[in-house]
Amino acid sequence: MKKHSSHKTLNFGWRDFSSPEIKSEINSAKVISCKKKTNTKITPISNVVKNKSGGIKLPGLSKFHNNISKIAKKFSNNNKSSFRSVEAVYSGAYSLAGLDMQNRDVANKVHKFDEAYGMSRINMNPAMPGKYDLKSVRDRRIAANFARVMSKIAEDNVGGEIEGDDLWDVNRIMSRKISRESILKCRMSREKRRIVLLLDSSPSCSDYSNFYSKMAVVAAEYGDVEMYDAPNGHIVHRWSLRKKRFERFLTPQDILAGVSQWSLFRNRVVVIFSDYDAAGISLKNTIHNKVYYFCTEYGADHATSHIYNTARRITKNMSSVNTKNLVVYSGITNTRQFAKTAKKMK
């Protein structure tokens, strides 16, 4: 304060000024306590009521997109919690499975699955004693060619950066002058994405069953591959790493959600061995996935023209395709042709 000034306390009441036309509602406002108790109850997940078919209703598919571990866990649990509904679907007892066959959309999806399952001729135990055990020189060559193809495909579809020691992290090395980080810690790895392998076991591919059985045995030894039995491209069986055999796994809810038609696959790499019968479903899934099509039909030009004709037909039916996500290799009918293709792949 200045010299000779009054020592009275300053009055700050002017700060509470309010317009005479507007009444202040601050003092009249009621304060509501945040600690007020409510009667809201949280229902635990374990208390969710199951449907009549014995399985839990399939949640939104986005939960499984780009999440390989959740897909594997779901399929493994299907044979535990929903075993009866799975068996009802594969035995054709759709009424016991809780499927309303009077509904046209439901009946259409069930018919497509039933047709594909009826064409399945897969050897459910391809790795049993007496089958191919990869001990002979010829079978070891098949394994080497398969590994070469998988590695070349994986190189073009690596995932994001993760902690590891496989590669040098250039960004961390360049920032060492500021961060003072040890050069030994400037390492990283790339996320490994498991490749989806589909084998067509329909009657039209019966001449190649010997070749496909060898592919199944090799893929069973290859850890980063999810293998399915897919007659004409429709998934009906999955390979169980624990049981070392193909098994039934689809529930009624899975069929209605289009799981047999690849609805759970997003941003995945799919390798399919089939003839022309799987062209339609493969093309429809090129919107969200990269598809490598090892076709049994001969003639690269003939195979390409057939694929593009199928693409045009699908497009006319108001469906979309992305041919840039489709790579076709023609004439893959035996191990010798597969080995030649493996060497030519860039």
Count the Cβ atoms, other than its own, within 10 Å of residue 265: 22
C-alpha to C-alpha distances, 179 to 114, 162, 176, 319, nearest whole angstrom: 61, 19, 5, 52
Each domain of the chain, given as residue ranges in start order, spans 63-157+193-346, 161-192
What is d(CA 326, CA 334) in angstroms, rounded to the nearest whole number? 22
Which one is predicted more confidently, 255 or 62? 255
pLDDT, one tens digit per residue, over 6-65 is 555 555 554 454 555 544 443 444 433 444 444 434 333 333 334 433 334 444 566 666
Task: Give me the sign of the Cα torsion angle 8, 14, 16, 22.
Answer: positive
Is 191 a residue whose pLDDT tops 80? no
pLDDT at 127: 57
**Alpha-carbon distances, residue 90 vs 122, 137, 193, 253, 258 (angstroms):** 15, 39, 30, 13, 16
Q: What is the DSSP string of 239-290?
A: EETTTTEEE----HHHHHTTGGGTTT-SS-EEEEEE-GGGHHHHHHGGGTSE
Whole-angstrom CA distances from 28 to 23, 24, 25, 146, 147 are 10, 8, 5, 79, 77
Structure tokens at 291: 């598809």
pLDDT the model gives residue 97: 76
Q: Which H or E run includes 75?
A: helix 68-81
- Is the pLDDT at 93 greater than 80, yes or no? yes
> 287-338, pLDDT tens digit by residue?
999 999 999 887 666 667 777 788 778 777 667 888 889 898 888 998 888 8
Please state the pTM of the whole predicted model: 0.70
Mean pLDDT, rounded, for 219-235 = 86
What distance in Å separates the CA atoms of residue 256 and residue 235, rounded to the nearest whole number? 13
pLDDT at 190: 64
What integer pLDDT is reported at residue 291 of this predicted model? 93
**22, 76, 182, 200 from 110: Cα distances, Å:** 69, 22, 59, 19
Q: What is the pLDDT of residue 159?
A: 57
